[in-house]
Homo-oligomer: A and B are copies of this chain.
Amino acid sequence: MKRSSWRLLVAAGAVFALALEALPCLVRWLLAGRRPRREVLFFPSQVTCTEALLQAPGAAPARPPAGCPCSLPHSESSLSRLLRALLAARSSLELCLFAFSSPQLGRAVQLLHQRGVRVRVITDCDYMALNGSQIGLLRKAGIQVRHDQDLGYMHHKFAIVDKKVLITGSLNWTTQAIQNNRENVLIMEDAEYVRLFMEEFERIWEEFDPTKYSFFPHKQHGH
C-alpha cells in the first residue's frame, strides 16, 4: 500500500474511533431524528379562548380557532400550550396534583378519558373537596382518583403523557394560579426524568390504595 493510503487509513480509523466513542450520543441523535421536546411555560398566562382545542369528538364540526364568536383573543398562551401538551396523549395520562380546579384543564382530562386514554389521578384530600374542585367531576366521569390520608400535603404538580413526556413545575391547576401567579411549568420529553417520576407515581398510587384507607385518619393540619 502507498504511503497516502496509509495516511488515509489512519485518518479514517481516528474518525471511526471518535464516532465510536460518541456512539451513545450519536445513536440517540440518529434515532430521535429530531430534538426531543423541551419547553418552559411561564405564568401568569394571558387569558385566551381555548374552545377550539377543547372541542369534543363527535360534537359540532370543529370550528377553526378564529371561528369562536367570543371576545377573548384567539392567540397562543401558556395555558393553551399546556392544554396542547396534555391533549397529545394517545394511551395514558398520569396526574399527580395538589389542587385541580381549572375548568379548561378539567375538560381536557375528560376529553382524553372519552377518547380511551387511560387516566389516573392522585390528589390531596384537603383540596379535592373544596368548591370548584374538578376531582368530583372526574370521578363522576369514571376516572380513577386516589388521595392521601397523610400528615403532610400531596404537593406534587406533575403529569406524565404516554409515559414519554413529563410536565412538572410550580403551577397548581387552578384558574387563580394560571391567571394571576408567577409560575413555571417544564415540558420535557426525557426518558430518565419520566422513569423517575413514573416510579414516584406508582409508589404513591400503591400507597393511596383505597383498601388501605382508615376511616378515622389522624390527619394534622399545618403548612
Q: Which residues of A contact B (CB under 8 A)?
A: 1-2, 4-5, 8-9, 11-12, 15-16, 18-19, 22, 25-26, 28-30, 38, 40, 42, 44, 98-99, 148, 150-158, 168-171, 174, 176-177, 179-184, 186, 192-193, 196-197, 200, 204, 222-223
- Please measure, in the bound complex, the distance between the C-alpha atom of A152 and the C-alpha atom of B155, giving whole angstroms: 19
Known A182-B148, A182-B204, A197-B184; judge A156-B170 contact (CB<8 A). Answer: yes
Chain B residues positioned under 8 Å from A15 (CB to CB): 12, 15-16, 19
Chain B residues positioned under 8 Å from A157 (CB to CB): 170
Contact of A186 among B11, B153, B183, B193 (CB under 8 A): B193
Q: Can you offer 6 A-B residue contacts whose CB atoms are under 8 A?
A: A2-B5, A42-B200, A150-B182, A155-B183, A170-B170, A184-B200
A186 with B170: CB separation less than 8 A: no
- Please measure, in the bound complex, the distance between the C-alpha atom of A42 and the C-alpha atom of B156, giving whole angstroms: 10
Contact of A18 among B19, B38, B204 (CB under 8 A): B19
B196 with A40: CB separation less than 8 A: yes
Known A25-B26, A192-B38; judge A155-B177 contact (CB<8 A). Answer: yes
Number of identical monomers bound together in the oligomeric complex: 2
- Please measure, in the bound complex, the distance between the C-alpha atom of A9 and the C-alpha atom of B4, giving whole angstroms: 11
Chain B residues positioned under 8 Å from A180 (CB to CB): 150-153, 222
Contact of A40 among B148, B182, B197 (CB under 8 A): B197
Chain B residues positioned under 8 Å from A200 (CB to CB): 42, 184
B169 with A181: CB separation less than 8 A: no
Nearest first, the 4 A-B pairs at minimum CB distance are A152-B180, A12-B12, A152-B181, A155-B181
Chain B residues positioned under 8 Å from A177 (CB to CB): 152-153, 155
- Please measure, in the bound complex, the distance between the C-alpha atom of A182 and the C-alpha atom of B197, giving whole angstroms: 12
- Please measure, in the bound complex, the distance between the C-alpha atom of A176 and the C-alpha atom of B204, giving whole angstroms: 19
19 further contact pairs, Cβ within 8 A, besides A8-B9, A12-B15, A152-B182: A1-B5, A2-B5, A11-B12, A15-B15, A38-B193, A40-B196, A40-B197, A98-B170, A99-B223, A150-B182, A151-B180, A153-B180, A157-B170, A158-B170, A168-B169, A169-B169, A170-B170, A174-B223, A186-B193
